[in-house]
Amino acid sequence: MSAGTIYGVGLGPGDPELMSVRADRLVRSARHVAFFRKVGRRGRARTIVEGMLRPDAVEFAMEYPVTTEIRFDDPAYSDCLSKFYLNVTTRLRDLSNRGCDVVVLCEGDPFFYGSFMHLYARLKDDVPINVIPAITGMSAAWTATGIPVTWGDDVMTVLLGTMPQDDLTRHLRDADAHVIMKIGRNLQKVRDAVAQAGKLDRAWLIECASMTEQRVMPLAQAEGQSAPYFSTVVIHGNGRRPS
């Protein structure tokens, strides 16, 4: 029996109409569908494909054992997630060995800060695996502002809101345009770092880009607020352009 293929299918930033033709085809034809979610939640990836799955699709919800309950630099966090990835890859490997193709739903692009990368690293040498790229969430975020993110020879950095504030400030001073991801509970720290770097006047906060609950505002107006998980800060470049 030929081994089945594990497909890491990028769904894009959240709007189903922004999925690629190939991703749409694979999702609609899949017999086995796997997706990540937090315990007690439906999961954003599964929500995106609502109404698209075939009636007899077998769903495999990969439920994180921990998200923010333990600090990511705590050894217990790494140990807990390592066991989780071992368990889910064992099941995916078993399905492949039985000749079953499996579509793994991935928010955004599978190779850009996504959980699928951990599955890929553990499976790529054992079973056939195919990755379907997608529009990233940050692309939808800067598009939502209605302002081009880079011009001419602008240098852009992608930063994480989980970084220490001093590191954020240093990187913000070293480039022209910026995308800051993983905002959530780090919103105030990110805002303070942007202000210290002297770029608060051109920074934007985008919540749930391309989704029905999308909201866009100047970061300066977000004093003391919290932000949902799917939030991004964008600072546009202002480089060389024709007059």
Q: Which residue has the higher pLDDT, 64 or 1?
A: 64
Q: Please write the tens of the pLDDT for every residue from 159-202.
A: 999 999 999 999 999 999 999 999 988 999 999 999 999 999 99
Beta-carbon contacts of residue 10 (< 8 Å; ≥ 6 apart): 20, 23, 106, 108, 109, 110, 131, 132, 133, 134, 135
In which order are the strands placed within the sheet that holds 156-160?
156-160, 177-181, 231-235, 203-207, 215-218
Residue 72 has pLDDT above 70, yes or no: no
Determine the pLDDT at residue 166. 97
Return the amino acid letter for 43.
Answer: G
Lowest mean pLDDT among 108-122, 127-141, 211-225: 211-225
The DSSP 8-state label assigned to residue 28 in this structure reads H
Residue type, 211: M
Sheet (strand 102-106) strand order = 58-64, 32-38, 102-106, 6-10, 129-132
Domains of the chain: 6-132 (3.40.1010.10), 137-235 (3.30.950.10)
Distance in angstroms (rounded) separating the CA atoms of residues 188 and 157: 20
pLDDT on residue 73: 65
**Chain mean pLDDT for the chain:** 93
More confident residue, 218 or 222: 218
Q: Return the beta strands (E) in the chain as ranges.
A: 6-10, 32-38, 58-64, 102-106, 129-132, 156-160, 177-181, 203-207, 215-218, 231-235
Average pLDDT over residues 37-52: 93
pTM listed for this prediction: 0.91
- 161-47-88 Cα angle (round to 5): 75
Q: Is the separation of the CB atoms in 202 and 235 below 8 Å?
A: yes
DSSP state, residue 146: T
Per-residue model confidence as pLDDT tens digits over 95-104: 999 999 999 9
CA 165 – CA 162 distance, rounded (Å): 9
Residues 83, 218: Cα–Cα separation, whole Å: 41
pLDDT at 74: 67
Q: pLDDT of 226-238, one tens digit each?
A: 898 889 999 999 8
Angle between helix 75-97 and 116-123 (nearest 10): 60
Structure token digits, residue 218: 């100047």
Residue 70 reports pLDDT greater than 60 = no
